Amino acid sequence: MSRKVHQGLFICEGTSDLPLAEIVEALFIERGVDVRLTQPDFSLLPKVAKDVESRVRAGTALLGSSVDVIVVHRDADNAGSDARRQEIARAVESVDCSATTVPVIPVRMTEAWLLLDEQAIRRVAGNPGGRNALGLPSPRRVESIADPKQLLQECIVQAADCTGRRRIHVSKRFNEHRRQLLRQIDYSGPIVDLPSWQHLMADIDAAAAALAAHN
């Protein structure tokens, strides 16, 4: 007997965050639940506002059918994790109260999750054998950094350990490097100690149990 595939909607802040959908799908698979997340192409609609409710509503309209789970990525930024969770819950409830909701809320930004794997940073920078110091924060400090995006940019350039045109080329490819780092997140690495990741694991555990109960 084949296992049911649950249909889902993935809403994120920007296109460079799309690999998060693959991560969430993989985490569901680890729990024995198949979820396929559709990533809506908002360019097919008139201008869509960037607030969560507008994006969930527009994504649902593009799908044209109900979904079992709605996954929403929203950086905590200065608002904080609790405020983002409430924002996401209200938005989904206003559009589809029957869907299971999974908030993905890095603190303060997704880049904080990417600052924990030195070897991955060196690989995407094109210098895997580099030995120069990168000044990466410890897992205990990384969620308190004011601008992890800026720090990650600096660390990638530092890891490349180059000058001139090559350095300029590396600095201009930040979005691509960021996508690569997202795809390479080690689920068993230092990230497991981050409260924001632990919250995501708990939310996926709860969502997987709810979905499995409706198989």
Mean pLDDT (the chain) is 94
Domains, the chain, in order of start with CATH, read: 5-107+194-213 (3.40.50), 110-183 (no CATH)
Work out the pLDDT band at 133, boundaries 50, 70, 90: very high
pLDDT at 119 over 90: yes
For 180, other C-beta atoms within 10 Å of its C-beta total 17
Among 65-74, 163-172, 188-197, 206-215, which is the least confidently predicted range?
A: 206-215
Q: Can you give the pTM of this predicted structure?
A: 0.93
Closest C-alpha among 206, 188, 212, 211 to residue 68? 211
Q: Cα–Cα distance between 96 and 205 in angstroms, integer?
A: 21
**Unique residue bearing structure tokens 């008139």:** 46
pLDDT at 120 over 90: yes
pLDDT at 2: 65
**What does the pLDDT look like over 158-173, one tens digit per residue?**
999 999 999 999 999 9
**What does the pLDDT look like over 74-103, one tens digit per residue?**
999 999 999 999 999 999 999 977 899 999
pLDDT at 43 over 90: no
